[in-house]
């Protein structure tokens, strides 16, 4: 029988210990289809077109295509639904939010010298909400295989019992903190309770039965990108541009895991059910640059080529945990055993480099009646990297990312047709999985459509984007690696109000 008492650490923890995972890196390496309503209605296929404020996010040379100064503001409604399947049990959760999607303007300076080959110079500033992190996931089902107790065992084995019992939670590294929670939550038990050098532990969750489990994840936040652009037009053939990008992010995730079991329990300290909560807040800023050019080969046919550098982020995490459990010999007698250290772990800032990309584009313009455009993007996610590289944890994590992630191919197709003052638009987007095993995150398919109306110097555009993707939601990173199959459906509506001067 266990003899230890519950100890609580109260306060803040400032630690260099890290707990990042591949999924944390992918949160910033991947981007949603965001931007003006015209841009999203054509699935972002603007690399050889330009003339749209969000097109600068694909090819910086696009701002030199503008004929006049322009300002645009875009609002978006984001509806996300996640259907989960966990051991045959299907559940669903959804989230809806309304946010500023884009805001910016471009200034065009025309060369008054008719003999000069340099026709125009443009400067622009544009904000893009590249990721909306508002989301809800709920998975539930009965596992005949594994208990979450194995998560705590995987961290505890190898940690001396004396370290757990003589050290406050706040002064332990992330791995030892999980052992601390499991020990004082009565989820695990040392083989030798009286030996401070004990490093082996057993589970207090009886095996051989079924485990009913629920995993709830609710997140909110954003990843924003502020673009400072300049571009030039040479003759009527070449448009060349350059972007300096400032990135900033704020992400909050609250997760709760519940488990109960129907295994026969004795009168000892065996666990009947538990609740394990984790709360993460990540924030920081980053920097990247882009270069690109558009070649107008004929009045109808255009080509585009652009490069986006890696994004270098500096991020910081705040992390807290709480565990409660009900034991078989206290049910209906005592309240649940609660381990709440009342500690927020403030981890030392760390760096993340997300991969760069190359985009090749082509477009065909049918006079004043319409156009069709195609973009191809190549992005190698295996180049994603945490630092400092001399940290053993980051070395192992970077190696795991290099082995798990691979190159992704993205194709965007868009079209526009003009009927007097109306504009009809549509598009398709395909993005390959960033993982070598596409079961982790599957391919993405997206369809879009839109309608625009020109009042002359004022334009009003609407767009709808439908996106479907699949993934495996792994509940924990080690020990307990059960996962649910997730089908994600996104329905995004955007509206842009545009002023031309």
Domain boundaries, the chain: 11-500
With b for 16 or more beta-carbon neighbours within 10 A and e for fewer, the 32-44 pattern comes to bbbbbbbbbbbbb
Q: Side-chain half-sphere of 177: how many Cα atoms within 13 Å? A: 25
- 376 in Cβ contact with 45 (< 8 Å): no
pLDDT in tens, 162-219: 999 999 999 999 999 999 999 999 999 999 999 999 999 999 887 777 899 999 999 9
Q: What is the mean pLDDT of residues 26-54?
A: 96
* pLDDT at res. 1: 42
* Rounded-to-integer distance, Cα 375 and Cα 316, Å: 35
Q: Are strands 271-296 and 370-380 parallel, antiparallel or unpaired?
A: unpaired
Q: What is the mean pLDDT of residues 267-282?
A: 86
Closest C-alpha to 378, from 346, 411, 333: 411
In sequence order, what are the beta bridge partners of 491?
79, 466
Pick the CATH number of 11-500 from 3.40.50.800, 2.40.160.60, 3.40.50.300, 3.40.47.10: 2.40.160.60
* pLDDT at res. 331: 52
Identify the residue whose tokens are 């645009």. Answer: 72
pLDDT cut 70: percent of the chain above it: 93
Record the tokens describing residue 234, joined without a space.
């040479």
pLDDT higher than threshold 50 for residue 497: yes
Closest C-alpha to 31, from 99, 132, 148: 132
- 450 in Cβ contact with 76 (< 8 Å): no
Identify the residue whose tokens are 């992704």. Answer: 408
* Rounded-to-integer distance, Cα 277 and Cα 279, Å: 7
* pLDDT at res. 12: 55
How would residue 332 be classed by pLDDT, with cut points 50, 70 and 90?
A: low
Q: What is the mean pLDDT of residues 450-455?
A: 96
* pLDDT at res. 266: 62
Dihedral sign for Cα atoms in the order 446, 377, 74, 95: positive
pLDDT higher than threshold 80 for residue 291: yes
Closest C-alpha to 293, from 9, 20, 60: 60
* pLDDT at res. 15: 54
Record the tokens describing residue 155, joined without a space.
């961290």
Rg of the Cα trace of the chain? 27
Average per-residue pLDDT in the chain? 92
pLDDT in tens, 112-154: 888 899 999 999 999 999 999 999 999 999 998 889 999 999 9
* Rounded-to-integer distance, Cα 188 and Cα 200, Å: 10
pLDDT in tens, 6-18: 444 445 555 555 6
- Contacts (Cβ under 8 Å, ≥6 apart) of 168: 7, 9, 341
* pLDDT at res. 242: 97
* pLDDT at res. 10: 44
Name the region of 170 (left: φ>0; alpha: ψ -120 to 50; beta: rest). alpha
CA distances from 373 to 59, 296, 440 (A): 13, 13, 31
- N- to C-terminal Cα distance for the chain? 79
Task: Return the number of other C-beta atoms located less than 10 Å from residue 203's C-beta.
Answer: 19
- Contacts (Cβ under 8 Å, ≥6 apart) of 379: 355, 356, 357, 358, 407, 408, 410, 434
- The secondary structure of 256-283 as a DSSP string is EEEEEE-S---SSS-EEEEEEEEEEEEE
66: helix, strand or coil? coil
* pLDDT at res. 9: 42
Closest C-alpha to 303, from 343, 250, 363: 363
Closest C-alpha to 26, from 427, 318, 456, 386: 386
How would residue 378 be classed by pLDDT, with cut points 50, 70 and 90?
A: very high
* pLDDT at res. 13: 57
pLDDT in tens, 227-264: 999 999 999 999 999 999 999 999 999 999 999 987 76
This prediction has a pTM of: 0.91
How would residue 268 be classed by pLDDT, with cut points 50, 70 and 90?
A: low
Dihedral sign for Cα atoms in the order 94, 95, 96, 99: negative
Identify the residue whose tokens are 């255009």. Answer: 302
- 147 in Cβ contact with 261 (< 8 Å): yes
Of residues 73 and 113, the one with the higher pLDDT is: 73
How would residue 2 be classed by pLDDT, with cut points 50, 70 and 90?
A: very low
Name the region of 58 (left: φ>0; alpha: ψ -120 to 50; beta: rest). alpha
* Rounded-to-integer distance, Cα 280 and Cα 47, Å: 37
């Amino acid at each position: 029988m266990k003899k230890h008492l519950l100890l609580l650490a109260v306060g803040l923890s400032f630690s260099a210990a890290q707990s990042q995972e591949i999924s944390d890196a992918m949160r910033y390496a991947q981007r949603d289809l965001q931007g003006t309503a015209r841009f999203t209605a054509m699935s972002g296929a603007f690399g050889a077109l330009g003339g749209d404020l969000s097109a600068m996010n694909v090819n910086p040379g696009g701002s030199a295509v503008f004929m006049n100064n322009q300002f645009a503001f875009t609002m978006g409604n984001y509806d996300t639904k996640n259907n989960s399947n966990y051991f045959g049990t299907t559940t669903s959760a959804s989230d809806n939010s309304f946010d500023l999607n884009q805001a910016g303007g471009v200034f065009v300076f025309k060369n008054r010298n008719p003999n000069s080959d340099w026709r125009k110079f443009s400067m622009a500033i544009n904000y893009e909400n590249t990721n909306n992190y508002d989301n809800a996931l709920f998975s539930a089902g009965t596992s005949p295989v594994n208990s979450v107790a194995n998560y705590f065992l995987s961290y505890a084995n190898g940690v001396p019992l004396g370290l757990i019992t003589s050290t406050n939670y706040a002064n332990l590294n992330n791995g030892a903190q999980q052992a601390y929670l499991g020990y004082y939550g009565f989820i695990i038990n040392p083989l030798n309770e009286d030996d401070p050098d004990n490093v082996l532990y057993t589970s207090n969750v009886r095996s051989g039965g079924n485990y009913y489990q629920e995993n709830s994840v609710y997140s909110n936040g954003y990843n924003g990108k502020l673009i400072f652009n300049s571009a030039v037009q040479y003759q009527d053939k070449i448009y060349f541009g350059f972007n300096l990008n400032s990135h900033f992010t704020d992400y909050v995730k609250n997760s709760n895991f519940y488990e109960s079991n129907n295994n026969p329990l004795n009168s000892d300290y065996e666990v009947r059910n538990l609740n394990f909560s984790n709360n993460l807040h990540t924030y920081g800023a980053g920097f990247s640059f882009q270069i690109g050019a558009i070649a107008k080969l004929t009045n109808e046919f255009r080509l585009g080529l652009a490069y986006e550098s890696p994004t270098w982020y500096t991020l910081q995490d705040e992390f807290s945990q709480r565990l409660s459990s009900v034991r078989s010999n206290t049910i209906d007698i005592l309240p649940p055993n609660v381990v709440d250290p009342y500690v927020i772990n403030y981890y030392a800032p760390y760096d993340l480099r997300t991969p760069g990309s190359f985009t090749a584009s082509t477009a065909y313009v049918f006079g004043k009646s319409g156009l069709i455009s195609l973009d191809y993007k190549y992005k190698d996610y295996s180049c994603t990297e945490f630092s400092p590289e001399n940290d053993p944890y980051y070395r192992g994590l970077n190696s795991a990312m290099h082995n798990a992630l691979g190159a992704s191919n993205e194709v965007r197709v868009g079209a526009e047709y003009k009927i007097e003052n109306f504009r009809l638009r549509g598009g398709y987007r395909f993005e390959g999985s960033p993982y070598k095993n596409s079961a982790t995150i599957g391919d993405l398919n997206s369809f879009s459509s839109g309608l625009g109306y020109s009042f002359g110097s004022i334009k009003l555009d609407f767009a709808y984007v439908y996106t479907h993707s699949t993934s495996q939601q792994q509940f924990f990173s080690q020990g307990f690696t059960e996962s649910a199959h997730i089908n994600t459906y996104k329905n995004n509506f955007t509206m842009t109000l545009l002023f031309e001067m």
